[in-house]
Structure 1
Amino acid sequence: MATNVAAQVGINTETPGATLDVNGNLIIRQVDPATAASNYNFLVVNSTTAEVEQISGSNTPPAVNTTIARLDEENNLSLLNVSGFNGWRRIDFATADINVSNNFDLTDDVYVVPSSGIYAVNYEFRYGDGVILQVLNIGGAPSIGILRQTGAGYTVLDQKTFSGANIPLVASILISQSTINSVYRLTAGDRLSFEVLEGGLALSLLSDSRATVSIYKISD
């Protein structure tokens, strides 16, 4: 003959609220080690009910930041003319040093934002050896820019001009290199391109130029 007994056990409590209700600290002296390749769930404490609950191990943050991309193009660097971008010329990246989830589209030379959040972006461009001796009044403002594509158009997410200086009795100097290094709130699906605005310069020494880009998500 079998007898089923339904009961609740309380430790340090006279009114247990679960099958086992422990009102106090819990010490586990020893557990078996887990193999690295195993797929486990985890026990967590619900701060509202104080109950121990189970969550899937797949819900834990990944060890690899899958948003990272880094590109470095030098020697024979080329700029693309894209219709409708008002003089902006896009850096043509042939390869990517790091492109964890292929978020950087090497066909269109754009970074496609995988998930909404805050991203750190660094964009550096150097034309030639970084210094040009010339008259500074060149009829424009040579710049580098990060462009966010919106349908058939774009918005300038950030822009920085090359700087210049006059040296008396010597020459006018244009520092033909610039860096954008900041953080931006982006939306999943945004397409970022890294561009140069010639601003009156004839950029013909691209074989000696260099462009570097890195981008990754730092926060939701």
Structure 2
Amino acid sequence: MKRSIFYLFLIFSISGFSQIGIGTTSPSASLDINGNVRIRSVNQDPDTDVARDSVLVISKDGTVNTMEAVKIISAALPTAVKGNFSSSGLVNLSLLSGSQTITFDSEAFDMNDEFDLTSHTFTANNDGIYSVYVQIEASSSLGIATNFGVQILKNGTVENRNSFANVGILGTNATPPVRSSQTLLQLTAGDTITFRVEGDIALGSVNLLGTDQDSYFTIHQIR
């Protein structure tokens, strides 16, 4: 009889407080454990669709939550982006100001969704060392220019560039119309990368070949 009364008292106590603390006298969740947790055996779930959305993670305040497995994997994967132009025709860029952001508006891949196709800007999600490469190719009508090249910018500041004169004869480039630039950059989360074309071309604009074999960029996190 006494044992039954004790069990009833325990049940009503748990129901009334709705929070149980182990190793703490002030629980802040239905079950609040202050200490290590040991589970001796766990059944395996054969349903991969269930497992995909049932990964347990611990937040900064110690609360256990679920998160989609694909999000965890994506966050752990290093950056890998390749971008180009959506048009395979000529892409005209004004150079009246001396330089112009290259309007890459298409992606071959972007593993962590870090390149904005509208602003043509890469924003790093994670701290690290990044390998950055950009290449552009002008049309055969580029003509004479004492300066024509491509820039890599970090947070709006030129970090690397490749620029030299271009000579055209009867509408044909006598010097190679391709400009490329490559560098390693140390980025912190939130830092941006953009690409610009520069030149003092008499026509005040440049036509770039739009095919992804001619004009494109790549960004790869190596550390």
User: Is TM more than 0.5 here?
Assistant: yes
Larger strand fraction of residues:
1
Deviation (angstroms), 1:147: 1.4
1:125-164 equivalence runs, <5 A: 125-129=136-140, 134=144, 138=145, 140-149=146-155, 154-162=156-164
Amino acid in structure 1 at the alignment position of 2:93? L
Q: Measure, in 2, the Cα distance between the counterparts of 1:206 and 1:40.
A: 50
Gaps of 5+ in 1: 1-31, 42-57
Q: Kindly tell me the number of residue pairs found equivalent between the two proteins.
A: 159
TM-score, length-normalised on structure 1? Answer: 0.56
1:68 matched residue in structure 2: 80
Q: Measure, in 2, the Cα distance between the counterparts of 1:72 and 1:104.
A: 11
Amino acid in structure 2 at the alignment position of 1:218? I
The sequence identity of aligned pairs, in percent, is 19
Amino acid in structure 1 at the alignment position of 2:147? A
Q: Measure, in 2, the Cα distance between the counterparts of 1:79 and 1:133.
A: 15
Deviation (angstroms), 1:69: 1.7
Amino acid in structure 2 at the alignment position of 1:111? F
Contact persistence 1:68–1:98 (CA under 8 A): yes
SS class of match (2:174): strand
Larger helix fraction of residues:
2
Amino acid in structure 2 at the alignment position of 1:117? G
Amino acid in structure 1 at the alignment position of 2:109? I
Cα-Cα RMSD: 3.9
Amino acid in structure 1 at the alignment position of 2:100? R
1:108 matched residue in structure 2: 119
Deviation (angstroms), 1:159: 0.5
Q: CA offsets per residue over residues 132-186 of structure 1, 9 Å max, x none?
A: 665xxx4x4211001123xxxx31011011466899xxx9822221211232111
Deviation (angstroms), 1:92: 1.1
Gaps of 5+ in 2: 1-42, 57-66
1:168-187 equivalence runs, <5 A: 173-187=174-188
